[in-house]
Amino acid sequence: MPKNAARRLTRKTALLMTAPRRPASISPSTPRCCRRLLSTLLVLGIAGALTPVQDVFAARRHGKPPTAQGEFTDHLSSYDSSRWLKADGWKNGPPFDNAWLADHITFTEGLMRIRLDDQGALGEPFGSGNYQSTDFYGYGCFETSFKPVASSGVVSSFFTFAGPFDNGGNGLHNEIDIEFLGYDTRFLQANFWTNDDSYAGGNEAIIDLGFDAAQDFHRYGFRWTAGGIEWYVDGSAVYQVFDSPTNPTPKAEESLQKVMMNVWPVDSSASGWAGTFVYPGSALHGHYDWVRHIAGEDCSLAEAPTPPPPPPAGNADEIHTEAIDLSLNNRHTQVIARVAIADGLGQPVADASIDAVWSGIITGGDGHRTTDSDGIATFYSARTNKAGTVSFCVTAVTGGGRTYVPADNVETCDAIDK
């Protein structure tokens, strides 16, 4: 067996546990993920003393819990890897009938799209996407604007989660859910799980929306406090549960949670809950417009977040001079020119070649430079002790097959006195 096989196996199983839970009505009291892990370990001959499920959980629980992250609003116009992770190359097993694949999450026209199709992997017949935060969050409001998939057997979700293989705190399963069951997207399912490794559950509630959620974007969220959970639709409260000794709600002091979104098909074991899934012959998509977290128990979801600014008008295939900045060296004997090149959308352009000329009391110096990763090229003039004016002009720009448009230059020439 390769040296790192056991480590890779443990990591893969840890990733399984970061994915969403299976419905209580169809789940065994012992998580299947752990049974699969133990079976594999026994086959490989490395199970050792980890046979009891409890020992597997204990072995993976972390010590010091993370710090709760602050609030954010993400308009999901692009992939922010500093905050999010695209699940890739693993699966949950029953009742999930898919593998998680990173390329099934895309960003187009200001939206995040999660694609469910028949490009299966890892022995599963279908592929789909799972988007989860890399950090953990505590009490506050969580909300997204999205359109679920309207297809029997498909679950579209927005939820917070921490499980035995997450370093959220106590290492137990804690979760707060918003789910749509695709056979009838006029209804929303709210749910929660508190320190519930056995998936005993029983807290599901079905909410009649009075509209078809798959037809347009609406806001769905919840406010999580020490006293309970309140679910919201379009800024209005629709359902609430209160913490009690007999049925406690999750506690941030015990475990913080990740923010997660996914779309997935159920297998036959869950058809009684979510309907039977029959692939329609073309890909299905869940559409997410934005997601946010407002920290603190006194948060409010009454108002929607401020829309993002419209994208700048322009052509990404055209480039121009965005700025020319001239300065003198310490002895005032040399001029330094910093030239910024941008495309038609205002984004910096790396590896653009710039030709330029010097004039005035200095006519020599760098005549050709290439922009760095920030779209900046630095030119140095020849040296002189003479006093007077030095001028610098860009004469040509080429780069990456783009078209240089001098008429779009913010600056073409600049001058400085020395």
| pLDDT confidence tier of residue 62, bands split at 50, 70 and 90 | low
For the chain, the C-alpha Rg in angstroms (whole number) is 28
| pLDDT confidence tier of residue 39, bands split at 50, 70 and 90 | very low
Residue 105 near residue 86, CB atoms below 8 Å: yes
pLDDT of res. 378? 95
Q: Calculate the average pLDDT of the chain.
A: 86
Question: Is residue 302 situated within a structural domain?
Answer: no
Instruction: Tell me: do 186 and 327 sit in the same domain.
Output: no
Estimate the crossing angle of helix 32-44 against helix 53-60, to 10 degrees. Answer: 90
Last residue of a domain, which of 295, 327, 360?
295
Q: Is 239 helix (H, G, I), strand (E, B) or coil?
A: strand
Residue 66 near residue 256, CB atoms below 8 Å: yes
Q: Inform me whether the pLDDT recorded for 148 exceeds 50.
A: yes
Q: Inform me whether the pLDDT recorded for 206 exceeds 80.
A: yes
Closest CA to 379 of 322, 319, 329, 320: 329
Q: Inform me whether the pLDDT recorded for 73 exceeds 50.
A: yes
Instruction: Tell me: do 336 and 374 sit in the same domain.
Output: yes
Element (H, E) at 122: none
- Which of 2-16, 77-91, 272-286 comes out lowest in average pLDDT? 2-16
Instruction: Tell me: do 223 and 356 sit in the same domain.
Output: no
Instruction: Tell me: do 406 and 326 sit in the same domain.
Output: yes
Instruction: Tell me: do 51 and 183 sit in the same domain.
Output: yes
Instruction: Tell me: do 242 and 209 sit in the same domain.
Output: yes
Residue 223 near residue 252, CB atoms below 8 Å: no
Instruction: Tell me: do 348 and 291 sit in the same domain.
Output: no
Instruction: Tell me: do 173 and 110 sit in the same domain.
Output: yes
Number of Cα atoms under 13 Å in the Cβ half of residue 138: 17
Q: Is 168 helix (H, G, I), strand (E, B) or coil?
A: coil
Residue 98 near residue 122, CB atoms below 8 Å: no
Instruction: Tell me: do 279 and 322 sit in the same domain.
Output: no
Can you tell me the mean pLDDT for 87-106? Answer: 94
One-letter amino acid at 335 equals V
**How, if at all, do strands 376-380 and 228-233 pair?**
unpaired
One-letter amino acid at 126 equals F
Residue 366 near residue 349, CB atoms below 8 Å: no
Identify the residue whose tokens are 């760095």. 372
CATH number of the domain within which 174 lies: 2.60.120.200
Residue 186 near residue 218, CB atoms below 8 Å: no
CATH number of the domain within which 338 lies: 2.60.40.10
Last residue of a domain, which of 261, 295, 329?
295
Write out the residue range of the structural domain in which residue 260 sits. Answer: 5-295
Last residue of a domain, which of 263, 295, 327?
295
pLDDT of res. 289? 98
Residue 295 near residue 71, CB atoms below 8 Å: yes
Q: Is 7 helix (H, G, I), strand (E, B) or coil?
A: helix
Residue 370 near residue 392, CB atoms below 8 Å: no
pLDDT of res. 65? 74
Active site residues: 175, 179
pLDDT tens-digit readout, 294-342: 999 999 999 999 998 776 678 889 999 999 999 999 899 999 999 999 9
pLDDT of res. 52? 32
Query: What is the pTM (predicted TM-score) of this model?
Result: 0.66
